[in-house]
Chains A and B, each alone.
Chain A
Amino acid sequence: MSSDREMTDSEPDTDSWKNESLPIDKLDFEAELMAIAPEQTDPAVRQTHAPSTTLERLRVEDVSVFYGNTPAVKGVSLSIRKGEVLALIGPSGCGKTTLLRTLNRLTELTHNASHSGQILLDGDDTHQLIDTELRSRVSMVFQQPNPFPMSIFDNVAFALREQSRRRPRRRELEPLVKHALQRAGLYEEVRGDLDRSALRLSGGQQQRLCIARAIAQEPEILLMDEPCSALDPRSTAVIEDLILQLREDLAIVIVTHNLQQARRVADRVAFMYLGDLVELGDTEQIFTAPRDEQTREYIAGVFG
């Protein structure tokens, strides 16, 4: 990755969105939590949030995923609603990444992968949808930032260019690119030169660029595979804020091995272990009153 940091990662004061406070219309757990475990929460960052609607976007029905004959995911059912962030947590090898990649059928890139069960996107069986269409509605951001070897503008406009019938002009693309970069919180930092090579950005900026690229097509669902694990704490905080902001319009599924991160950004948490979905519930419930023994042990750090 390029090491010259032409732009810093700290937020300039002009970013007004960060100072907005989000509506809180649920019971406020904060006081309770502060009493129980004050060191586990950071009130400045945590915000509870109820999905504005309970519109179900994606439903996973009894899905099992196999590599050859080995099951990586066993009989998982869950649903993902618009406006919420669902975190998949669990130790390495528990199948959370495989489950994530099944949602946009990226598992098909592996030759011996197969699955049973159904995944419904707004009622449509994803298996029956054309894969390229599915992936424009269900976007993904990867663990390692992977901006293409092109300019910033070309990166964000990439999918837009490829998906359209005829080649769109730069004039038509500019507002869309700008909008995507703004939503990703990167616009102010790069507006000076959008034709700069994307590889020259810092790690955190590259990841935000990947997010901008992923949301340029206005997907319904955003999948994130440990998006912050390759970044420093400052960039991580920036991206977590971004996630909280983005969930207004999207449903977000994030895989993370960082329990604190799950606690900070997620509305609901699913704990997986060795391919099984062990427990699924609201963030607070999972972290403060897990029902399952294994969940409790994992949260407490007995194994990881």
Chain B
Amino acid sequence: MASAEQVGAPRLAPPPRRGRGRRSPLRSWRLRDQILFVLTWTAGIALCAVLTAVLVFFAVRGVEYLRPSLLVTHPSASVTQSGSGGFLDAIEGTVLLGAIGLLIAVPIGVVTAVWVVEFGRPRWLGRTVESTVEIIAGTPDIVIAIFGLAFFQLGFFSFLSFSEPGGAFGRSFLTAGAMMSFLAIPPIYTATRNGLLATPRQMREASYALGKTRIATIRRVVLPAVRRDIATGSTLGLARIVGDTAIVILLLGATLRLQSAGSFGFLSGTGSTLTSYIFNNSPAGDGNAPQKAYAAAAILLLLVVGLNWAVGRVGRIGGPPLHQPSRRLGA
């Protein structure tokens, strides 16, 4: 409704806008609330500070002690720092364990998740399997390691590691890798399970309507849809494997270099990983080469940070929850 008056009328300045009004001042809060307020800020800042401190510390030490040559030289027994070589074997060990662990964990984790979500009959069995994964997730790695030792020291498994009459040694990449899979299975299971639950029913129903069997649907339609979740879970599992020390100490025999033994050469032999290398070179182990420990630590940290960054990129928005399904933590 334009009119001549409106065009000619002077335009008033828009009235001033106000944002938030007067709020309950901190001073007026009860003492316990004031303390709590300060504590929450302190906690938040402290956590950030700790992370920064750790990252900066290892970055600095890493720059100080890390040389590219260390990454490609084999370690050798020596009393001097310069003579003791690099930690190539440790890196190889880490990679090897990660590979073996994932090779076992991914199929088992994915298949279990598929069975629980898609089938899960009878009910009690489905629930039991779910609980089992939770139990595995909650079991300390040292207990898993001890179990592995007992298991693979059975004579039956002597081909998997170094053995002599009287009993198998029980320690090898194969045995350690097998137990590492326990660490990776819960994240893979959870991620796959959540991914499967999130796929829309219409997708499956469309496939059934075309006459496909259940299993074919799973193979051709559903699994490809959760590829990302599987990748996320695997990366998380790999991060756990790479960072674990207890299983390595108990099940890998802690030799400086990769030794072959048993029936599968290196695989059934012993060696070390980045974690056990760091442990052994610290005053806690028998070496006393903190410089090497720092260098290896920098690499390990880089690896773990990189894996977690990859999770953030590969995964769905924000990545999967860090933990067991949150519905479990509800009422």
Contacts and interface: CB of A to CB of B under 8 A. Distances in A.
Interface of A: 62, 64, 66, 105, 108, 113-117, 126-133, 165
Contacts of A133: 24
B23 A127 contact: no
Size class of B's contact patch?
10 to 19
B18 A130 contact: no
Contacts of A108: 19-21
B22 interface: yes
A105 B17 contact: no
A116 B78 CA distance: 78
Nearest to A131: B23
Contact of B14 (A105, A116, A131): A116
Nearest to B28: A130
B16 interface: yes
Contacts of A165: 30
Interface string B1-38: 00000000000001111111111110010100000000
A105 B21 contact: yes
6 contacts: A114-B18, A115-B18, A116-B17, A127-B21, A130-B24, A131-B22
Contacts of A129: 21-22
Contacts of A105: 21
B299 to A, nearest CB: 43
B15 A64 contact: yes
A130 B25 CA distance: 8
A64 B12 CA distance: 15
Interface of B: 14-25, 28, 30
Contact of B17 (A62, A66, A128, A131): A66
A13 to B, nearest CB: 38
Contacts, number: 39
B220 to A, nearest CB: 41
B22 A128 contact: yes
A161 to B, nearest CB: 12
A131 B24 contact: yes
Nearest to B15: A116
Given A64-B15, A108-B21, A128-B22, 16 more contacts: A62-B15, A66-B17, A113-B19, A114-B18, A116-B15, A117-B15, A127-B18, A127-B22, A128-B21, A129-B21, A129-B22, A130-B23, A130-B24, A130-B25, A131-B22, A133-B24
Contacts of B28: 130
Contacts of A117: 15
Nearest to A130: B24
A101 to B, nearest CB: 13
Contacts of A64: 15
Nearest to B14: A116
B17 A115 contact: yes
B163 to A, nearest CB: 60
Nearest to A62: B15
Contacts of A128: 21-22
Nearest to A108: B20
B21 A116 contact: no
Contact of B16 (A113, A116, A126, A130): A116
Closest 5 CB pairs of A and B: A127-B21, A116-B15, A132-B24, A114-B17, A116-B17
A23 B101 CA distance: 83
Contacts of A115: 17-18
B15 A114 contact: no
B22 A130 contact: yes
Most A C-beta atoms less than 10 A away, residue of B20, B21, B30: B21
A59 B96 CA distance: 75
A132 B20 CA distance: 13
Contact of B19 (A114, A126, A130, A131): A114
A115 B17 CA distance: 5
B91 to A, nearest CB: 48
Contacts of B25: 130
A105 B19 CA distance: 10
B15 A131 contact: no
A177 B21 CA distance: 31
Contacts of B21: 105, 108, 126-129, 131
Contacts of B22: 127-131
A102 to B, nearest CB: 10
Contacts of A130: 22-25, 28
B20 A116 contact: no
